[in-house]
Amino acid sequence: SSERPERSRNAKAQARHRAKRKAYIEQLEQTVVKLQTIMNLSPEQVAALPPPSVRIRELEQENQRLHHEMDRLRR
């Protein structure tokens, strides 16, 4: 039987890194599935959601509008 030579420290570290990255990605995928289930959204509905930057801009504009309205009502 042929024996495999022992891996170098670098090869072992690379293998550990790949395993950790794979586990992290799997955990993220499970989290996405759980959140989709909780929100009762299909993958198509999730894909149709606007990017966070668009939503943030919308909320900032609404916040500014409400501040202007508060100022107008105070006068």
63-69 long-range contacts, Cβ below 8 Å, gap at least 24? Answer: none
Which of the four pLDDT bands, split at 50, 70 and 90, describes residue 35?
confident
The model's confidence at residue 73, banded by pLDDT at 50, 70 and 90, is: very high
- The stretch 34-47 carries a mean pLDDT of 82
Work out the number of other CB atoms within 10 angstroms of the CB of residue 25: 10
Query: Which of 10-14, 22-26, 39-43 is predicted with the least confidence, judged by mean pLDDT?
Result: 39-43
The terminus-to-terminus CA distance of the chain in angstroms comes to 91
Predicted confidence at residue 29, as pLDDT, reads 93
Distance CA 30, CA 20 (A): 15
